Amino acid sequence: MEIRPTDTPSRELLLLADESEASVNDYLPRSRCYAAFENGRMVGQYLLLHTRPFTAEVVNIAVVPDRQRHGIGSALLQHAIRTAREAGFRILEIGTGDSGTGQIALYERCGFVRCGIDVDYFRKHYPAPIFENGVECRHMVRLRRELLSE
């Protein structure tokens, strides 16, 4: 698998990770996209956004459904960590819905720690309720990782 920058992110993957066209359209032009390829096929991607001094955020990350649970998400996150560190960022953040237990576990396995909750984020900013694992996604769980020189 090869991970490299791309100027043509997959719209399908963007909307797999974030159902709000308006949200995606807001952060996409301000982000840098990195994509994972296997045998020439894009199998995953993430967007990295400079949010505050010394801080970047993975604002969108997704893997094609038939390649999920094969380590691609972990590889993308490790790539994001290295890329952010090499760019001089000291903190890398990521957020996900409170109903996304699998995503939260993945982020924690990659060294992110929970640092906050944006209460009712999805009810306030999304046009329709989102359900995941049979549970309404209401709050955004915020996680962060310190990027110490290694």
Q: Yes or no: say if 71 and 25 are a contact pair by the CB < 8 Å rule.
A: no
**Per-residue pLDDT tens digits for 116-138:** 999 999 999 998 999 988 899 99
Fold classified for 2-146:
Aminopeptidase (3.40.630)
Q: Strand (E) positions, the chain?
A: 2-6, 32-38, 41-52, 55-63, 91-97, 113-118, 130-132, 135-137, 140-146
DSSP string, 116-142: EEETTHHHHH-SS-EEETTEEE--EEE
Q: How far is it, in rounded angstroms, from Cα 103 to Cα 87?
A: 25
Which pLDDT does position 133 carry in this prediction?
80
**Per-residue pLDDT tens digits for 74-83:** 999 999 999 9
Query: How much of the chain, in percent, has pLDDT values that exceed 90?
Result: 91
Residue 45, strand partner residues: 35, 62
**Which residue bears the tokens 């807001």?**
26
Paired tokens of 58: 């993975």
Q: Which amino acid would we find at residue 123?
A: R
**Helix axis angle, 72-86 to 101-109, nearest 10°:** 50
Separation of CA 18 from chain center = 9
